[in-house]
Amino acid sequence: MTDATKLRSLIGGLIYLTHTRPDIAFSVGVIFRFMQHPSNNHFGAAKRVLRYIAGKMKYGIWYSKVSNFKLCRFMDSDWASSLDDRRSVSANMFTVGLGVITWSSKKQATTVLSSSEVEYVVATSAACQAIWLRRILVELQQEQEGATEIFCGQQSNDINDEESNIS
């Protein structure tokens, strides 16, 4: 059995890194679930995340001035991926221009009965968060005209591929 205190410290550091590295949020979240009773496999997974980060040191989030100041949300979810309780995991990010301003990856609080239902649950959360972010933008005198676009599932993946020139 691995030293639980050492793993908790490592996971704490990885959680801190997720503030600037949304690409590790899902992996760190999965490892975090096992902090109470960790095994050597969990410690190995945490070290794999560290090796991944070490190999991607030049990557990061870049912000630049944009002429089209528009808030968009990209989201995706799986259906019942947790073998323990059959709950779904969803991931999302909001962007302004090409810069990511907020993101998350979390296990849903409820168990849903279909993949369509999980998309509705996540879309409802997206709409609430979009309203909150738009209010903040008004306070910053960056009010957006028009609707906030919310891209779900495969639609979100297709758009990200187009922006990355991936086909």
Per-residue pLDDT, 48? 95
Q: Same structural domain for residues 75 and 149? A: yes
Contact, 133 vs 149, CB < 8 A? no
User: Are 51 and 78 within one domain?
Assistant: no
Domain that holds residue 19: 4-56
What is the DSSP-derived secondary structure letter of residue 67? Answer: S
pLDDT at 80: 66
Return contacts of 33-41, CB within 8 angstroms, 24+ apart.
33/107, 35/4, 35/7, 35/8, 35/11, 36/4, 37/4, 38/1, 38/2, 38/4, 38/7, 39/1, 39/2, 40/1, 40/2
The tally of domains found in the chain comes to 2
HSE-CB of 134 using CA atoms within 13 angstroms = 16
Per-residue pLDDT at 2: 56
- pLDDT of the residue at 54: 93
Residues in the chain where the model's pLDDT stays below 50 = 1, 156-167
How many Cα atoms are found within 13 Å in the side-chain-facing hemisphere of 27? 19
Question: Would you say residue 36 lies in a domain?
Answer: yes
Structure confidence at residue 156 (pLDDT)? 44
Query: 135 in a domain, yes or no?
Result: yes
Q: How far is CA 153 from CA 117, 118, 120, in A?
A: 12, 10, 11
